[in-house]
Amino acid sequence: MKIDPFKELNPPTKDGYWINKKNKERYGGQYISPLLVPNLKRVQEGFFKAIKDKKFMKELNEELLSFIGVNTPIHFSPELTKLAGGEKKVGKIFLKRTDLHTNHSHKPISAYSCCKLAKYLGFKKVLTETGAFQNGRAVASACAALGLDLDIYVGANDAKKLAINKDISALHGANIIEVHDSTKSLLPAMAAALRAFQSEPDSMYIVGSVAGPHPYPLMVRTFASVIGRITKKQFKSLTGKDPSTIFAVCGGGSNLESITYPYIKSNKVKLYAVESAGKGIKTGKHGATISGGGKMGVLLGMRSKVLLNGGNIADSFTEASGLDFSSIGPEVAYLHSIGRIKFLTATDIEAKKTFMMMARKIGLICAIEACYVIHAAIREIKKTGKPKQNHLIHLCGSGEPNVAQMMEFMKKNK
């Protein structure tokens, strides 16, 4: 299946804001040190030039199809449908198998595209940050393929987890820098990468999510939307229509935006984001920026919803490293504010149980992140699903990096 040309459906203002017309609240923008202004200008101008360059986009799409393998299948899951109440009651449940990409998650699409852009703009080196090392690994693979040097910033605490993705990044030749600031997790790693960008204007910074200063949220969702654009065509050819609902997990929001983007103006398609409730929203130990009562704040160059602790950023908590983020991409926060995306949650324990169910009953080892969405989707479809509806769940990654963590869980719960 071919990738159709990108169409801008929800443009931000020229300063990178999505504005809620009702309450005038702004999401996005470019809140950065003046020292970063020239570096970001180069990336911004380069991005707008590249997406209009037919040769660049044609080449990129061909490589996404052949190297990343973006054309992954969508399949009907009779077992999940049965779990939700059966086809006659709730309709059918489908899975988009993004776990089958090279590097096994949604991250390689934007990672490869951004690295391709870095090369197009003449950069020789890339800087990025990572939490679960999904982004780190994806960028490392892309840099190896495109002949770029790479520094990956990772929180010292995160570096201890998910050793396989870290080792794979190192095997690809990435230089891994551990960050010991603050909470030693994704947020300080991202701040450290931005600081490095300030010191190394000859390197291009790449964000792993739809977050950061303008143009990063726009750039990452534009590139990542290839997943949704392919999905839309696939789903139509499979069922003859658009899905009734789409469910995707949401940390920063790249996974969510990647699959829902082409549907944001199709109001008949209900869009659901699932956040990690960690140990439970009420315990305060969660990674749910929207469902957990995040407030407007300014961090990492953007204005968006943030989990706050006084004037500083509160620690998020979840056992899924990919969802361990105390904020959310500005466009996602905007889409939530206008009521376009509904937010649900699942706890860590629910996700782990779902992981085991998927392994034992469906035969798939899913990324722990994907298990939050599968759990919450089945619960929601059980409640609101109708006959003849088609529900699409974004199976956003493979669970191979979670094997050690889940073996421990299995042994404890024998």
Partner 1 sequence: MSKLNKLFKNLKIKKKSAFCGFVTSGDPNYASSKAIMKEMTKHCHIIEAGQSFSTSTSDSPIIMEANDRAIKSGMNMTKTFKLIKEVIKETNNDTCFVIMTYLNPIVVYGVKKFIKSSASIGIAGVIIVDNNLNSPEEKILLNGLSKKGIGYTKIISPTNSEKFIQQSIKNTKNSFIYITTYAGLTGSKNVNLNNVKKLVYKVKKYSKNMPTGVGFGIKTPKQVKQVSKYADVVICGSNIVNKIKEGHERRLSAPKLAKFVAKYVKQLSESTK
| Interaction site with partner 1 (CB under 8 A) | 15, 26, 29-38, 181-183, 187-188, 190-191, 194-195, 198-199, 201, 295-301, 306, 308, 310-313
Q: How far is the CB of 329 from partner 1 (least distance, A)?
A: 16
Instruction: State which residue, 312 or 413, has the beta carbon closest to partner 1.
Output: 312
Instruction: State which residue, 37 or 338, has the beta carbon closest to partner 1.
Output: 37
Q: How far is the CB of 181 from partner 1 (least distance, A)?
A: 5
Instruction: State which residue, 102 or 182, has the beta carbon closest to partner 1.
Output: 182
Q: How far is the CB of 104 from partner 1 (least distance, A)?
A: 29
Instruction: State which residue, 212 or 228, has the beta carbon closest to partner 1.
Output: 212
Q: How far is the CB of 200 from partner 1 (least distance, A)?
A: 9
Rounded Cα distance, 28 and 219, in Å = 12
Q: How far is the CB of 14 from partner 1 (least distance, A)?
A: 9
Instruction: State which residue, 145 or 314, has the beta carbon closest to partner 1.
Output: 314
Q: How far is the CB of 332 from partner 1 (least distance, A)?
A: 19
Instruction: State which residue, 298 or 404, has the beta carbon closest to partner 1.
Output: 298
